[in-house]
Amino acid sequence: MDFLVRFKKYFSKEKLTQQEENQMISYIKAGNRELLNEILETKKIDDNYQSRQGLTPMIYAAYYNQPDIIDYLVNKGFSIEKTGKNDDSPLIRASYYKRFQAAEKLLELGADPNIKNQDYPLMQAIFRQSDKMAELLIKYNADINLILNRIKDDFIKVPPCILQVFNRHQCWEERKNFIFVIKFSKNRISSLPKGILREISSWIYLDMKVDERYEIFYR
């Protein structure tokens, strides 16, 4: 019976106009729960709602760094994992734009730190050189190993500020010792520093494959 009441109530509501949608977004941006509640109670907005830009209310809350609004939306039945039209999740959006408080709230509420659209949240922190965000994501079990191949295959340099974060965590210490990888031609291997050659030699000794397409730089 309760489901039927909620079902009828939802479908009796009107859809948002463009002006009302803009108002809703402005209320999220300002952290105004009371005015936001008025719109959610009177208009047809649920967890599947996307704005004309293809973003969910939760993504807006993450982008505008509003942890209280995130809490409020969760209590209203909105998902912390629901993606927008570009497959951005709230956490990915918060990680990219360095919205630390929003990211922390999402992670506290159980958001997956290893969710991926085109990239992982931790990869976004690397791109944006945000050691604070990287530290937070790793604290909530972001898997460094998931991004190692991404770093290697796409020749991405890890900023020093992020390396300092990685180096504080055991999961990074157990990696093969490389910081970033760039292409090099086969005939340049003799020009590598002696320390690197010794390391490569130890890999060969341990029966580990050394890919001749890469030149590896160390701390």
Q: Cβ(104)–Cβ(140) under 8 Å?
A: no
User: pLDDT at position 1, please?
Assistant: 46
How far is Cα 79 from Cα 90, in angstroms, rounded to an integer? 9
What Å distances lie between residue 112 and 72, 120, 122, 162, 192, CA to CA? Answer: 19, 10, 11, 20, 40
How far is Cα 122 from Cα 69, in angstroms, rounded to an integer? 24
Q: Per-residue pLDDT tens, the chain, 219 aa: give them.
A: 454 434 444 444 678 899 999 999 999 999 999 999 999 999 989 999 999 999 999 999 999 999 999 999 999 999 999 999 888 999 999 999 999 999 999 999 999 999 988 789 999 998 898 999 999 999 999 988 888 767 766 656 778 888 778 777 755 554 444 433 334 444 555 565 665 556 555 544 444 444 433 444 333
Which domains are delineated in the chain? 2-144 (1.25.40.20)
Strand partners, 214: 183
State the number of CA atoms in the 13 A half-sphere of 26 facing the CB. Answer: 7
User: pLDDT at position 103, please?
Assistant: 98
Query: Which has the closest alpha carbon to 72: 58, 87, 84, 60?
Result: 58
User: pLDDT at position 86, please?
Assistant: 85
Query: Which has the closest alpha carbon to 88: 66, 111, 109, 104?
Result: 111
Q: Cβ(61)–Cβ(25) under 8 Å?
A: no
- The residues, any chain, with a CB within 8 Å of residue 104's CB and separated by 6 or more, are 67, 136
